[in-house]
Amino acid sequence: MRIVLRARGDFEEWRTAARALLSQGTVPRDIEWVSEDAAGSDLFSAPASPPIGGAAPVSVPKAFLPLAESLICHSDPSRFDLAYRLLWRLQTEHALLHIRSDPDVARAHAFDRSVHRDSHKMHAFVRFKEVPASGQRRAFVSWFEPDHFIVARNAGFFRRRFADMDWLIATPKGAISWDGTDVRFCDAPADKPDIQDDADDLWRTYFANIFNPARLKVKMMQTEMPKKYWKNLPEADLIPDLIAGAEHRGRDMAARQASDTVPKFHERLHGRKP
């Protein structure tokens, strides 16, 4: 049976199909999960399955739902099959998710970690640029390139963090926007906006001032700020020169003597001690 999904990180889309398949007793090996993009380019594939009817309630451990929601956001084409295989096995293997050595469970948690890591990078590396606004609120646009379908998943974080302004986050895997009242999501790939912003220089100034050449570890820095994100970060323009000059700046810092001058407020601070 061939199940065609839009495959844009919509958990309800997968769950509706999975519950119906499970209620019909469809074993995992008899299902081919396909995204619309892949189905459209496969001229010789079997026809898509007919619409699926209703489904009986399904019982799963509490831990399965957040894990499955994360799996469906992963970009690996096998994610739907993996999620359904876990669902199928949990009907008889109730303690399955506690067996971390099980290949399916181990793979599921690897996918989950990757999705959470991608979300963390989105929180850290979205850079808003101001655009003209039609109303009283300021408006901003940002471009981000996630590895997985995490855009809708992270809408709540940005709504809470930037509630006082209108914003749009565009990505190759969809876009989210906020107008002060509603969050809107579009799962169609977006185009990268060509926008410059005065705040770019503020990011560069901030990064240059917090950069500590004496503590530089290039590999560790690239672990936290992978190179693939640099092209969309204004402060990343400075990184090659900062790395190249780190050794010299580190020697200068070490050569400076500590100041013997006591700050003028030193005595007043000590005078306040009980």
> What's the predicted TM-score (pTM) here?
0.78
Distance between CA 174 and CA 247 in Å, rounded? 42
Distance between CA 253 and CA 215 in Å, rounded? 11
CB-based contact 102:90 (threshold 8 Å): no
The residue among 146, 151, 114 whose CA lies nearest residue 232 is 146
Residue bearing tokens 């090659």: 240
Q: What is the pLDDT of residue 253?
A: 57
Q: What is the pLDDT of residue 50?
A: 46
Distance between CA 168 and CA 24 in Å, rounded? 42
At 222, the amino acid letter reads Q
pLDDT by residue for the chain (274 residues), tens digit each? 999 999 999 999 999 999 999 999 999 999 999 999 887 655 455 555 544 555 567 789 999 999 999 999 999 999 999 999 999 999 999 999 999 999 999 999 999 999 999 999 999 999 999 998 888 899 999 999 999 999 999 999 999 999 999 999 999 999 999 999 999 999 999 999 888 777 777 777 776 666 665 555 656 656 677 777 767 777 776 666 666 655 555 556 556 655 556 666 666 666 665 5
- Residue 151 three-state SS: coil
> Directed axis angle between helix 64-73 and helix 11-23, to 10°?
120
